[in-house]
Structure 1
């Protein structure tokens, strides 16, 4: 029950009462998250909130409670409470943006549009739980709508536009996989939440939850006054927002902060400006101050520092303090240079960019209808262009570009590299910028104007590498991804089908019904349909797979100076798995047995952290490793039967562990081939004399074989497919 429904009851004009939700003001220990949600409610142009955190931290509870504080919506049907619309992970694009109204088209012959969930969320909250599991192109659609404030649909012969201004909130558990850095940047604010370790706070959380479950209505009534005050404060802030001043001093501070953190593009500057303005309005102030800018930076900048898939988002307090001091020095320097009259003097006005000094609310581009994203480059199309570049229609092209340009890692630095450059474990942490240089923010620059940074001790040298385009043959039906072909509800329509498929194939249905119209007595009027006329749409897209890395870390690999190159190849392949939305598992071969160092997970950055402590030495239990991989495949097939497996074995083929090690390894390989497990072997053998054992093992597995140098050199010789 919203606070506005309570208000109507008290004034004698009751509205329908919904079940009492947990009050917003009763939430304990999530003040930062509550503030971020409030600021987005004050200024939806901020772009929404991404809530990252462990399970059981009241993420969903706080989001649902926010909807009760939003002002009622007045539309063509009258006044109604703001809605909380929840988007399921398995939703289709038609359900999200809307589609043609087939019922009216087929029965009445009228062209009509049926709105989707984005229309229902207008002036409310659109909540996506587990947004990291949502298909990428749907995330693009949501973020575009949140940034533009409207939805434009061109499909099935229908052209339709409707407003869609809502507070977008996504929640995710990083352990289940991360969003791509491009999508992270599109969220306005990000909040990391965790359960408090203070005993008193934990007691308060449990006590309030138990009290709510015992008497939801009574509990909500106790906090109705506090929720009403919060709702009125939001309403006042919305009214005040257009009058809040953002002068050149604070705008310079914002620009200096974003430059100090070296964020990509200009979206960060815009979001910080909008958030600072909203925070000032929330405080009841008429102008943005340094404190507003700091709060905005804390919420808007941490996740924008994540460029490489293996980078951790976040900004420490010390880093923010230093950046704020540098920004203050920049402001003071500009003030001194502008003369005694200050930066707002008439002499300095001509040097300022057009529109400077206006807040996000009153600085909208009239040519774009004053939309919330019209400040984005002055064209209002920044988000749309990004969406087109990252859309599913060009996924293959984008993926090729990502693979070709993405920085890889060769910890050994290639043959003949200085051993001092290698980490002890053979795997170090690499943060790469777009030019392939180390982008570790904690490392000092090489020198003034160098643009590079000094590599940490133990950080692998990187080379421009690309992973081969490996895929599982055939057509699967697994989770959406970017590796192998699969039947998909979200893919392109291939053909109509009479018995199976996803969605209705309109043309197929019409063509099936057309020859029957005379027999059914139709002369004029709507098309006469029968159940047998309906045709489904057979769609094909891409799926993510289960990629099992079987890594030889035996003594022979370390002794022959190959472990560094091997772990560099693993990083390259893990980055590729991240881009293609695979689940990954890692098994190492060392000593007398194989060890599952990483159970199957969608969080590829966890795999890199786990591999950082690899131990080397001992014999090569190759047969044990292949048997462990076969057992893992069988177990995962029970848990997720639709996700098809792929084995990537990195070894020189020298099996030395156990009795009759090589024959047993070959027998285990034949067992995997019998289970139809797609396999690829990375041959790590080097030197003038080559035994070719890895290639023989690949033949037993029924898979392909690629040389290690092709994964750690400057280019890949060609496209390698498992079907070849």
Structure 2
């Protein structure tokens, strides 16, 4: 009986077999042709083949020659002079390997991403030991980040800096290591689970919005192919082998051609005009559009950029850079784009597309490049199916949808009544001061409350409980100094031992769970307060987005309370639910408090390190359901703010009593726009 170990053949779903998603295919191919494009961010709902198509692309990339034994995949023809495993002799014989696909998990640490320098060995043994991270492993391949919006911001910063510079730097206490890190960066995200900050969004070269097709025939074809692949993956892949081979050849040919593609001044002015008219910030959009247009020309077999190439590039490079507000959905007005391109093309001599105009990327006619089967989207063609990046996630924000919804007449509120189901308008949000959770937490990195983090300012030192990750040099020296004579020091350097090492204790900021509990009863609507309430909550939602919080929304009206938005990182979803929030009915205040206690109890089990902040928006009235005092007791120990919505000449002071029962800070709704003076000493008052 054989005792040999059998190898399992892993078969990747073919890139050419993915149905539809033409724009996503094109964006990935353009980055494969020219890494200067800067990567792809794929936005879309779950179950839309985002991960499948990214993994499929990696299998189509050309093999690379690497220096044998080099952990940093140096090119033997042009090795990195600063390679930690070098120096390598230029021109040495290399070995071929496939382009790698490296996946960055959401929970990765900084050391796992960039690598770690063993400071302890460096100080105690004089050895400069470096353990490479995922950026080194992804060099000359693909780095894939699923759910990139859930990655910690400082890791996203490091990731995008390395992608932009092509170099990874690791700095640890005056010692540094650098190595090349050039890779195709692909990130995927579900907007329902939270957004990237606009600054980080801008660092991705292209973006594509993908949606599941609503065409029954196309959906059936997707299922048919997937079932065939799951039943016999090798046989399914073999049926698409010819298309995959042709696609790989096309990418290689376009890569060889792209450096010779010419960008005429007329097309460059066209790019600059389009970017200026769409009011994108900075000049990165212009550079990305230019690089993508040249890659598109190379992919189409041309040696000169044309208006068609500029249009294809702009549709992918500009949508995510047009966001003027965190609650705006990415999108691009394609009619305006076509008008701008037409206007800038008037009175110009037609471009000479060069000798490659009638040939595909490998010299064959364009109709044959790349081979495609029915129901497939052409990776190089115009969008013909789901996932067009030019289509926003929804319709353009109207008077009742955008961040200034309800303010079409200088913020005039919409009419309200006390009728059940009535939906009040929302005025323009305003800036609110910082609301903090008292004490010192240890939650997710953010910008709201004080917390112990690895990225904040140093406030002290301690003995490490494991490997030293953040050495405190001065504390280490002070710990070792009294022992030098006993250790027989004879030279200028310190004699260090392992128990001398100290690590820094740092304080920064954390993100919190901000749970809004909003009174949507008829008494609020009857007093014309719901527009002001919704505007205040929208302003606080915007603040939560900027401070990297999770948010949840509970409303109470009629017979009970409901969770309008379970705790999530998607502040956009909270804003959408708030705008469509109906009002009317009785006021079950106790039910709202009880539901808040239940949500917080569950969230403490799911994410115990993230501290909650309860924001209760009410006038204090309770005309239905349960004992308010008993319900408030369930929230004992929860940091709370009560926004008092009572107004008029006669005030009952019910919200004041409720704030006292919750030991919460009381804030008047009318003073929200000038909240800073009220809550400046919030922590001291708790």
TM over 0.5: yes
> Residue by residue, what CA displacement relative to the aligned partner does 1:279-326 show, whole Å, maximum 9, x if unpaired?
1101111111122122112211111222211111123xxx31342123
Distance 2:50 2:417 in 1: 39
TM-score by length of 2: 0.79
- Is the partner of 2:139 in helix, strand or coil? coil
* 1:328 alignment counterpart: 342
Choose from 603, 627, 630 the match for 1:667.
630
Task: Measure how far apart 1:669 and its partner are.
Answer: 2.1
Task: Measure how far apart 1:133 and its partner are.
Answer: 0.4
Distance 1:535 1:182 in 2: 35
1:572–1:426 Cα change, 3 Å: farther
1:494–1:272 Cα change, 3 Å: same
Give RMSD over aligned pairs: 3.6
Contact preservation (8 Å) 1:409, 1:569: no
Work out whether 1:38 is the aligned partner of 2:55: no
Task: Measure how far apart 1:543 and its partner are.
Answer: 2.4
Distance 1:423 1:264 in 2: 42
Task: Measure how far apart 1:215 and its partner are.
Answer: 4.2
Contact preservation (8 Å) 1:427, 1:460: no
Task: Measure how far apart 1:48 and its partner are.
Answer: 0.6
* 1:678 alignment counterpart: 639
Contact preservation (8 Å) 1:47, 1:143: no
Task: Measure how far apart 1:168 and its partner are.
Answer: 0.6
Distance 1:715 1:470 in 2: 9
Work out whether 1:233 is the aligned partner of 2:230: no
Distance 2:419 2:540 in 1: 18
Choose from 541, 566, 590 the match for 1:623.
590
> Residue by residue, what CA displacement relative to the aligned partner does 1:105-149 show, whole Å, maximum 9, x if unpaired?
156404454443222222111111110001112212222222222
- Is the partner of 1:672 in helix, strand or coil? coil
TM-score by length of 1: 0.75
Contact preservation (8 Å) 1:558, 1:617: yes
Work out whether 1:575 is the aligned partner of 2:536: no
Distance 1:423 1:282 in 2: 59
- Is the partner of 1:186 in helix, strand or coil? coil
1:646–1:527 Cα change, 3 Å: same
Work out whether 1:462 is the aligned partner of 2:462: no
- Is the partner of 1:275 in helix, strand or coil? helix
Choose from 632, 656, 671 the match for 2:599.
632
Task: Measure how far apart 1:44 and its partner are.
Answer: 1.2
Contact preservation (8 Å) 1:132, 1:172: yes
Task: Measure how far apart 1:556 and its partner are.
Answer: 2.3
Distance 2:417 2:463 in 1: 59
Distance 1:124 1:197 in 2: 34
Distance 1:510 1:116 in 2: 29
Aligned length: 602
1:681–1:304 Cα change, 3 Å: same
1:125–1:84 Cα change, 3 Å: same
> Residue by residue, what CA displacement relative to the aligned partner does 1:6-42 show, whole Å, maximum 9, x if unpaired?
xxxxxxxxxx997443332333333321211110111
> Residue by residue, what CA displacement relative to the aligned partner does 1:372-415 show, whole Å, maximum 9, x if unpaired?
xxxxxxxxxxxxxxxxxxxxxxxxxxxxxxxxxxx98696899x
1:206–1:492 Cα change, 3 Å: farther
Work out whether 1:564 is the aligned partner of 2:507: no
Work out whether 1:585 is the aligned partner of 2:602: no
* 1:477 alignment counterpart: 442
1:609–1:461 Cα change, 3 Å: closer
Work out whether 1:128 is the aligned partner of 2:145: yes
* 1:165 alignment counterpart: 182
Distance 1:642 1:301 in 2: 38
- Is the partner of 2:155 in helix, strand or coil? helix
1:202–1:618 Cα change, 3 Å: closer
Distance 1:94 1:250 in 2: 43
Distance 1:466 1:722 in 2: 20
> Residue by residue, what CA displacement relative to the aligned partner does 1:27-66 show, whole Å, maximum 9, x if unpaired?
3333321211110111111111001112222212221222
Larger mean Cα displacement after TM superposition, 151-160 or 583-592? 151-160
* 1:393 alignment counterpart: none
Contact preservation (8 Å) 2:407, 2:428: no
Distance 1:708 1:155 in 2: 49
- Is the partner of 1:600 in helix, strand or coil? strand
Write the mapping of 1:352-391 to structure 2, written as runs, cut at 5 A.
none
